[in-house]
Amino acid sequence: MALRTPVRTEDEPVGRTTRRDRRPRPSAAGARLWTWLTLPGTVWMSVFFIASLLLVAAISFGTTDQLGDPRFGTDLGNLKALADPAYRDVMVRSLGYALLTSVICLLIAYPVAYAVALHAGRLKNALIAAIVVPFFANYLVRMYGWSVLLSDDGPVLRVLRALGLADAHTKILNTGFGVIAGLVYGFVVFMIIPLYAAMERMDTSLIEAGRDLYGGPLRTFLYVTVPATRQGAAAGVVLVFLPAMGDFVSAQFMGGPNQIMIGNLIQDKFFEGQDWPLGSALTMALMAVLLLAMFGYLRRTRKDEAEATR
Amino acid sequence: MSATATTPRPRRRRRGSRRRPVFAIATTVVFFVLLYLPIAMVVLFSFNSQKSLTVFKGFSLRWYEAFFHDSVLLGSLGMSLEVSLVAMLGSVVLGVALALGLVRHKGRLGSYAGLIMMVPLITPEIVTGVASLLLFKGLGITLNSGTVMIAEITFSISYVTVILRSRVAALNPEVEEAAMDLGATRWQALRLVTLPALLPAILASAVLIFALVFDDFVLAYFTTGVDPQPLAVRIYSAIRFGVEPTINAVGTMMLAGSITLIGLALAIPRLFGRRGGLDLISGE
Amino acid sequence: MTQTPVVPDAPAVPAVRLEHISKEFNGSHAVRDLCLDIAPGEFFSLLGPSGCGKTTTLRMIGGFADPTDGAVLLSGEDVTALPPNKRNVNTVFQSYALFDHLSVADNIGFGLRRKGVPKAEIRERVGAMVDLVQLGGMAERKPRTLSGGQRQRVALARALVNRPAVLLLDEPLAALDLKLRRQMQVELKQIQREVGITFVFVTHDQDEALTMSDRVAVMNGGRVEQCGTPEDVYERPESRFVAAFMGTSNLVSGVYRDGAVQLDGGPSLPVGTRPGIADGSTVDVSIRPEKIWLSDFEPGMPVVGGVIRETVYSGPTTTYLIELAPGVTVAALEQNTARARMEDRWEGGERVEIGYDPEHCLVLGR
């Protein structure tokens, strides 16, 4: 070979060489750039999110000093306190409220998503925007408006009384129903969106086939539409359950002292009672319930996917 | 049974299957009424000439005037705007970088970052709030607007990353290669080609984050100092400890603000004349 | 045989030289110990089925993939360690990879701006390029508003305006419909002659490679199977793979002895004396359908009998499937020229004789 190249010296062997070991590879610079882009956000999240969650876990084993400031420790008292009937009842109630909220949202969202996705024609996009936009309006202001609407001499009860559906003693606020109404109002959009998306994807000829097979619209809905949108519904249940379980505003605005939820307890321990270790233990308990729910959901969807691909 | 399914149906039957579902439509109408009525109430009573929150006596702007003469509320408004702006900039810078890195970085760092990005999305705000409060106290940081900003950035990075990640993944890698082929360094390719392609989605998510942070109450409540307090925290105290109709006026203005911003976030991709912006329905 | 760079009358410094390059992805070789020289000004095609390593080879020349082993030399300079922006090559990508936020003119001027060419000169060169690729009047439009063929031209202009030593084209015509593709093939060839830049063209379409190239490298399994002029690789394939890949070819197997191949259970085909093939060895015989005669045999031509099994009429040509022995079928192609008459066409079941020139037979040892 008469070829001479500038980078090659005479005594270097021509031909087979392993360049990987001797020279920087051009793509290495690229990999470094991606690392530098990933690093700041990752460090930020590790410090301000992951570390702080670990701190909550650590403090839940701690105690308070005379000033009410938290101290680290290995005390199991806070976790034992969770079994105390007063706290246990609140946790059971929170779970019940959040589950009922999910069910009610499901019952509202199915007809709404169905009507918007399949029977709204050209209005479809406008209607879905009309559902999403109020969700971005201030949560407190919406909750406040809702509580005014449902108050003892508010418009809803006045209409119900005029129709003879309620008497002078009927209340919505300061009842469990009021709290659930608040949670439903706050989070129903999280149910509608995934259900709407699922119905959009659904093959509408399924419904027509269902009509032929089953006849009635209700039977078609139950045997065709519901199974076809099951994954959307499952996602919606999780998306509603998660924030509903941790909410404390609805119970404060719509409920009374007998309707408090776990979120109110946590808020109380941090702002009124100054028992941060116990508040941390309650937070851990809440997180545990939610992680269980999330785990169940993920297992469910995996199973569904596995069945779908079979 | 299969015989009935394959037999062609008379026409009447087919038209029947397109019949409007009366129950579903009625539910939808009631749903929309109940969805908007509380908001309408707030707006209506913000213009009430009397202090009553249940009886509308006449039109007036007195509660808006009251707001603009209330130095505490104005201070809160200023703080909320400041916090939202900083949180928006901070989370967009970190989130966009992270989204780019996450999609391209194939190592262990990438999978770790991808995992911790998802945790905030399933964590209720109260938990994030408690955790931030404990961290700031533990580090001996005095609570003020700075701590609110840090907490809000933490909370928003995941949103920005999740929104932009799918956009980055959908980019054609050959476009960046083309820029480098034409003499750009990797960094120049990112700046001159990739970021402009992502611009609609970046702007849309920035507007969205601004609106979310401005309206956010729970995190702000846990991480703010005593004075000034973000507007949402003031509203909370006002609602809890005796309602002034001024709150209706503030609420109305916040509603108008958020609706404008959300409208903007949805419209941005169209302003750029292309898809690839923010899709609130399927983008997440 | 394929390991040494094949180029007739190679100039002292090839525009592109690949020295024993390999590329591994997760332990499997996409390209394996490949050597290739491409002369300046050549229109060179890398041809092969998908997964043969042709795009990976192109990406290694462009700097988008690092060879696991070996070196890439451009005009004699080792660029193996250089990133794409430091190499004097430009690429036309399969997806065109246009910058959607820039106008056509800004897309084309991108490379010149990176190099810091003065504004006035950029304007002039971009204008000239717009004319060359016939995009006059579209300079200010956004790529999104252009048709597929126009986008293709922008991608070409964007690369060519930088006057690279080598232009790499990664299946640039694959996304176009057939008619536009034929037109662009001609245009691309004209442009290449006009600018005199070395083109390295990746394609899986053998027609495209044959029409446009000065030389073609047929690739398979990460290696070059054969490299030569279009005529070389088409008329004188050196392997079973090349014979089969370059258009339809008849492949029959038998035992070679004394200048003839005895087909399994069929006639013996005289193929002439083949010095490289040992008597009694099993071989494949390949002959293209258009090289088989059905009538007007020349004197001395070997003739074999068979039965027409199928007649396939496809406009300008008619293909006959002829069974020479049970299980041994060959295709023969006849032009439907002005002299051929419909009633002369053979029917299924008829006995025919076929003739061929032994020189057109390719005998491949196993």
Residue A14 has pLDDT above 60, yes or no: no
Contact A54, B126 (CB under 8 A): no
Q: How far is A201 from chain C (nearest CA, A)?
A: 28
pLDDT of residue B160: 94
Q: Looking at residue A18, what is its pLDDT?
A: 41
Contact B131, B224 (CB under 8 A): no
Q: Which two tokens stand for residue A117?
A: 């996705």
Looking at the predicted structure, is the pLDDT value of residue B197 above 80?
A: yes
Residue B35: CA count within 13 A, CB half-sphere:
25
Cβ separation of A53 and B236 shorter than 8 Å? Answer: no
Q: Percent of chain C having pLDDT more than 70?
A: 95
- Choose, out of C66, C101, C144, C151, the residue to mutate when testing the contact with B (most B CBs < 10 Å): C101
**Is B179 in CB contact (< 8 Å) with chain C?**
yes
Note whether A45 and A272 are within 8 A (CB): no
B/e letters for B233-252, b = 16+ CB within 10 Å, e = fewer, are bbbbebbeeebbbbbbbbbb
Q: How far is C96 from chain B (nearest CA, A)?
A: 8
**Residue B86: is its pLDDT beyond 90?**
yes
Chains with 3+ CB–CB pairs under 8 A to C are A, B
Full DSSP string of A205-265: HHHHHHHHHH-SHHHHIIIIIHHHTHHHHHHHHHHHHHHHHH--HHHHHH--GGG--HHHH
Mean pLDDT of A214-226: 80
Q: Are C174 and C94 in contact (CB under 8 A)?
A: yes
Are the CB atoms for B63 and B246 separated by under 8 Å?
A: yes
Contact C20 A27 (CB under 8 A): no
Among C77, C78, C81, the residue with its CB nearest the CB of A26 is C81
First to last CA, chain B: 42
Residue in A257, A237, A295 with CA at minimum distance from that of residue A89: A257
Q: Would you say residue A8 has pLDDT above 50?
A: no
Interchain contact, A217 vs B21, CB within 8 Å: yes
Ranking A293-307, B163-177, C36-50 by mean pLDDT, the lowest is: A293-307
Q: CB contact, 8 Å: B173 with chain A?
A: no
Cα A226–chain centre separation: 22
Q: Is C123 on the interface with B (CB under 8 A)?
A: no
Closest alpha carbon within chain A to B41: A145
Query: Once rounded to an integer, what is the mean pLDDT over residues A32-41?
Result: 90
Which pLDDT score, from 0 to 100, does residue A23 have?
44
| pLDDT attached to residue C116 | 93
Cα C185 to Cα C169: distance, rounded to the nearest angstrom: 12
Q: Is the pLDDT of residue A223 over 90?
A: no
What is the per-residue pLDDT across A253-263, written as a single tens digit (0 to 9) for each?
A: 999 888 999 99
Residue A20 has pLDDT above 60, yes or no: no
User: pLDDT by residue (tens digit) across B1-58?
Assistant: 344 444 444 444 444 445 678 888 999 999 999 999 999 989 998 998 888 777 788 8
User: Which whole number is the average pLDDT over C90-108?
Assistant: 94
Cα three-residue angle A36-A42-A46, rounded to 5 degrees = 145
pLDDT value of position B247: 86
Tell me the average pLDDT of chain A.
83
Please state, in angstroms and rounded to a whole number, the distance separating the CA atoms of residues A43 and B153.
13
| Residue C343 reports pLDDT greater than 70 | no
**DSSP-based helix, strand, coil % in chain A, nearest 5:** 75, 0, 25
Most confident region among A106-115, A270-279, C296-305, C352-361 by mean pLDDT: A106-115
Give C21's DSSP letter: E
C159 touches chain B (CB under 8 A): yes
Contact state of C64 with B177 under an 8 Å Cβ cutoff: yes
Q: What pLDDT is attached to residue A309?
A: 62
Tokens of C262: 């005895």
Q: Which of residues 155-214 of A touch B (CB under 8 A)?
A: 155, 185, 193, 196-197, 207-209, 211-213
Assign 3-class secondary structure to B131-197. Answer: HHHHHHHHCCCCCCHHHHHHHHHHHHHHHHHHHHHHHHHHCCHHHHHHHHHCCCCHHHHHHHHHHHH
Side chain identity at B9, as an amino acid letter? R
Average confidence (pLDDT) over A220-230:
85
Q: Cα–Cα distance between A33 and A40 in angstroms, integer?
A: 12
In three-state form (DSSP H/G/I as H, E/B as E, the rest C), the secondary structure along A96-144 is: HHHHHHHHHHHHHHHHHHHHHHHHCHHHHHHHHHHHHHHHHCCHHHHHH
Mean pLDDT of all residues in A39-66 = 90
Are residues C94 and B186, on separate chains, in Cβ contact within 8 Å? no
Q: What is the pLDDT of residue A310?
A: 55
| Residue B193 forms contact with C (CB below 8 Å) | yes
Q: Which chain A residue's Cα is nearest to C5?
A: A1
**Which two structure tokens, joined as six digits, stand for B12?**
């009447």
Residues A166, A157: Cα–Cα separation, whole Å? 7
Query: How far is the CA of B204 from the CAs of B196, B201, C355, in angstroms?
Result: 13, 5, 73
Q: Cβ neighbours of residue B151 under 8 Å, at least 6 residues apart? A: A48, B128, B129, B132, B219, B220, B222, B223
The span from the CA of C115 to the CA of C106, in Å, is 14
Instruction: Specify the amino acid at residue C257.
Output: R
**Under 8 Å between Cβ of C267 and C305:** yes
Side-chain half-sphere exposure of B196, counting CA atoms within 13 A: 13
Confidence class for position A1, pLDDT limits 50, 70, 90: very low
User: How many angstroms away from the CA of B104 is the closest CA of chain A?
Assistant: 6
C109 in contact with B at a CB cutoff of 8 Å?
A: no
Percent of chain A with pLDDT over 90: 41
C297 by Cβ neighbours in 10 Å (0-12 / 13-18 / 19+) ranks as middle
Alpha carbon distance C350, C357 (integer Å)? 23
Separation in Å, CA of C262 to nearest CA in chain B: 53
pLDDT band at B284 (very low <50, low <70, confident <90, very high): very low
User: Does B190 score more than 60 pLDDT?
Assistant: yes
User: Which residues of A fall within a CB distance of 8 Å from B158?
Assistant: 45
| pLDDT of res. C341 | 65
Chains A, C: CB contacts within 8 A come to 47
pLDDT at B110: 83
A136-192, pLDDT tens digit by residue? 778 898 999 999 899 888 888 888 898 888 888 888 888 999 999 999 999 999 999
Q: Is C12 on the interface with A (CB under 8 A)?
A: yes
Please determine, for residue A6, whether its predicted confidence score (pLDDT) is greater than 60.
no
- pLDDT for B282 equals 40
CB–CB contact A133 B262 (8 Å) = yes
Kindly tell me the number of DSSP H helices and DSSP E strands found in chain C: 8, 19
Q: What is the mean pLDDT of residues C278-295?
A: 87
What is the nearest CA distance from B242 to chain A, expressed in angstroms? 12
CA–CA dist C213, C230 (Å, integer): 7
Rounded alpha-carbon distances, angstroms, from residue B195 to A35, B103, B175, B201, C100:
17, 14, 12, 10, 12
pLDDT, residue B56, reads 82
Kindly determine whether residue C81 and residue A25, on different chains, have CB atoms separated by under 8 Å. yes
**pLDDT 10s digits, C25-82:** 888 889 999 999 999 999 999 999 988 999 999 999 999 998 999 999 999 999 999 9
Whole-number pLDDT of residue A111: 93
Name the residue with tokens 């087909």: C263
Q: What is the DSSP annotation of A165-177? A: SS-TT---TTSHH
